[in-house]
Structure 1
Amino acid sequence: MKKLILTGILAVAGLTTTANAQIQKGNWMVGSSLISSNFGLNTGGGYNIQIQPKGAYFIEDNVAVGGYVDLGFAKVTNGSPTEFNYGVGGLGRYYLSPGEKGVDNLLNHGRWFFEANAGLGGRSVENGNSTTGFDFGVGPGYSYFITPNIGLEGLVKYRGQTGFGNEGLNSNITFNVGFSIFIPTAKAKQIANEAR
């Protein structure tokens, strides 16, 4: 009986530790926003679809820094010009701890986070409008861990591009759905060694 109780206590402790283990210092996060829709703040804004691969390394518990790439296209209606978006740069994420500053998680297997990015990017439209220059964004998100190492994510983000071209500033609010895979450093080294 004692062994059964001890096994139960260790299993519960293991689940609790696993829920936080993926966002600990030294781990990697690799993922992508697969679906992105936006509501343009500029005249002619509409909907778009993008793929946004990203990767980050946890420099501290709950704090990750890394990079991103944006590739996407948009078409407001049939007959409207096609728009191409692109960007590359650095990103940072901060995951809130349960109970931090009165913020509790909606679900036991998830975490709220804030994401910010800055880099180079642009927008090119068939009708000749374009912006190329500084690409930036910030917003809150939620990651629900369907397994200890895979999270489904939702992210609401203000994004902007400013610089050269016909439009000095292009900005919008995006709603993103995607996933992230969290890899412990030891597992990442094993994968790298197997790839050689």
Structure 2
Amino acid sequence: MKKFLLIVAVAFASATYAQTEKGNWMVGSDLSFSYETSKVTTSTKVNNVTTDVDVTTNTFKFVPNLNYFVINNLAVGLGLEYQNTKVKGASNAHNTFAIAPNAHYYFPIGGNLAPFVGAKVGYAWDSVGSSDESKSRGLLFGVKGGIAYFVNQGAALTGYLGYDYLNLKNKVNTNNSEKTGKFGVGIGVALFF
């Protein structure tokens, strides 16, 4: 009886994770949200005036992607990314588009769950308005870790924590640069073929 249960368990685990085998495709989409509040302190040398300003930033991100499993549990692919960042009280939002090759590695633990890690490196375009002075472009780097819940052989739901880093230079004045790092929480859906 114990041998039978062991055989059933092994068959179930391998059937559940057949979707992360070499040669399969994964099409997915992630939604992410981050919230940041910070205190910015500025001082003027002429009058020795110090000003504290509370800044609240909300970021929404949508990332469709297509990946191919090059070996069991390792998928590489390409993601297209859209981010909308709004600073409370500001009239314009930052709109960022990016194209980023990525990789995901799944750790099958049995049942319907598989922890995973992912990384991406790509190129991003950011704009606050329509003029060239308000546009920037540069490097995007990101990492994430989370867990996938396999609903069935063809679909999984994911939840994750991620960190994105942007290093952008102004389109007109390349001496002006902006470096930002953001932690966020996200959910996603993945279809396996």
* TM-score clears 0.5: yes
2:94 — aligned with what? 83
1:52 equivalent in alignment to 2:63: yes
**Structure 2: unaligned runs, 5 residues or longer:** 41-54, 171-175
Kindly provide the amino acid, as one letter, of the partner of residue 141 in structure 1. Answer: G
Kindly provide the amino acid, as one letter, of the partner of residue 21 in structure 1. Answer: A
Question: Structure 2: how far apart are the matches of 1:129 and 1:39?
Answer: 23
- The superposition leaves residues 88-137 of structure 1 with CA deviations (integer Å, 9 ceiling, x where unpaired) of 02001111242xxxxxx7xx311111100001013222496554111110
1:71 — aligned with what? 82
Aligned residues: 168
TM-score, with length taken from structure 1: 0.74
2:139 — aligned with what? 134
1:158 — aligned with what? 163
1:193 — aligned with what? none
Question: Shift in Å at residue 156 of structure 1?
Answer: 1.1
2:122 — aligned with what? 119
Question: Structure 2: how far apart are the matches of 1:36 and 1:121?
Answer: 17
From the two aligned structures, give the one with the greater strand fraction. 2
Of the structure 1 ranges 72-81 and 108-117, higher mean CA displacement relative to structure 2 is found in 72-81
1:191 — aligned with what? none
- The superposition leaves residues 6-58 of structure 1 with CA deviations (integer Å, 9 ceiling, x where unpaired) of 9x99876543222110111111110001x311134886462122220011101
1:168 — aligned with what? 178
- Give SS of 2:182's match: strand
From the two aligned structures, give the one with the greater helix fraction. 1
- What percent identity do the matched residue pairs reach? 24
Kindly provide the amino acid, as one letter, of the partner of residue 185 in structure 2. Answer: F
Contact 1:52 1:71 in 2 (8 A): yes
2:29 — aligned with what? 32
1:178 — aligned with what? 188
**Which protein has the larger Cα radius of gyration, Structure 1 or Structure 2?**
2
- The superposition leaves residues 47-90 of structure 1 with CA deviations (integer Å, 9 ceiling, x where unpaired) of 12222001110111111110100013232336542120110020
Question: Structure 2: how far apart are the matches of 1:168 and 1:179?
Answer: 32
Correspondent of 2:17 among 17, 20, 28: 20
- Give SS of 1:121's match: strand
**Structure 1: unaligned runs, 5 residues or longer:** 1-5, 99-104, 184-196
